[in-house]
Amino acid sequence: MSAASAQDLLPFKEIREGVIILKSNALRGVLMVSSLNFALKSADEQEAIVFQFQNFLNSLDFPTQIIIQSRRVNLTGYLDKLKDLEKNQTDKLLKIQTADYRRFIARLIQQGTIMNKRFFVVLPYTLAELEISAPIKELFRHKKEEVVMSEVVFRRARSQLYQRMEFTAIGLRRCGLLAAPLTSSELIELLWSTYHPQSSEVGYYPSIMPELIK
């Protein structure tokens, strides 16, 4: 018996057009969600946020998974850039201020590990929920003993999943949170960092950061 590869042990088989396809042919979409400082809100604002979040949860008629990912922030590259900026600075005062700032960041790193938290909402969609009238043999194709959904079925399922993601994003927006779907490349980065927590660094998700900081 040949040893199973690492890929055989993963629950998903493909990332396609911003969607994770599991080996069961179920789909998963991921929203990256901003955060807010609840403690800085007034009592009335806190009560309103809790009320809106309660209404959001009650409005859901499908499973929803909330994930909080903590990762160590690697500031080595940032310190190197500060050194280059200090070296190339022609203004004497700015050169001194840059050096002071660089030393401040270095001391901050020495005092403890700097962590960054990212928040995600994972939304599911299964083919059992899809209303289809075509013969079952037309919905799937076989590829090396693997059952693969047809292009038509994938398009319809993906459309339904993205409707759920939009509905969820609107509900979170009422709570003061911004949400944006991850692209295929961002999903790959998220999964890689999840399975390699010791060696991964915090990513920036460039395509969605403008959406989250508006």
Asked whether the predicted pLDDT for residue 64 surpasses 80, the reply is yes
20 and 57 part of one domain: yes
Which of 48-62, 77-91, 197-211 shows the lowest per-residue confidence on average (mean pLDDT)? 197-211
Mean pLDDT, residues 42-64: 94
pLDDT tens digit sequence for 67-125: 998 877 777 778 888 889 988 988 889 989 999 998 888 887 777 667 778 899 999 99
Asked whether residue 173 is domain-assigned, the answer is: yes
Verify that 132 and 195 share a domain, yes or no: yes
The distance from CA 8 to its chain's CA centroid, rounded to whole angstroms, is 23
* Model pLDDT, residue 152: 85
The answer for residues whose C-beta is within 8 angstroms of residue 161's C-beta and 6 or more apart is: 19, 27, 28, 29, 123, 124, 125
Q: Is residue 126 domain-shared with residue 61, that is, in the same domain?
A: yes
Determine the residue type at 68: I
pTM for this predicted structure: 0.71
Instruction: Say yes or no to pLDDT of 214 above 50.
Output: no
Please tell me whether residues 103 and 19 are part of one structural domain. Answer: no
**Number of structural domains, the chain?**
2
126 and 191 co-located in one domain: yes
DSSP helix/strand/coil, 203: coil
pLDDT for residue 190: 87
Is the domain of 127 the same as that of 189? yes
pLDDT over 50 at 135, yes or no: no
Give mean pLDDT, residues 61-68.
92
Q: pLDDT per residue over 139-194, tens digit each? A: 555 455 455 678 888 898 999 999 999 999 999 999 999 999 999 999 988 888 88
Q: Could you list the residue range(s) of the whole structural domain that residue 106 is in? A: 74-113
Q: Are residues 162 and 183 in the same domain?
A: yes
10 pLDDT tier (thresholds 50, 70, 90)? confident
The answer to whether residue 1 sits within a structural domain is no
Q: Stretch 37-47: mean pLDDT, rounded?
A: 93
Examine the pLDDT at 45 and tell me if it is beyond 90. yes
- List CB contacts of 156: < 8 A, sequence separation 6 or more: 130, 132
Q: Is 208 found in the same domain as 128?
A: yes
Q: Tell me which H or E stretch contains 116.
A: strand 115-125
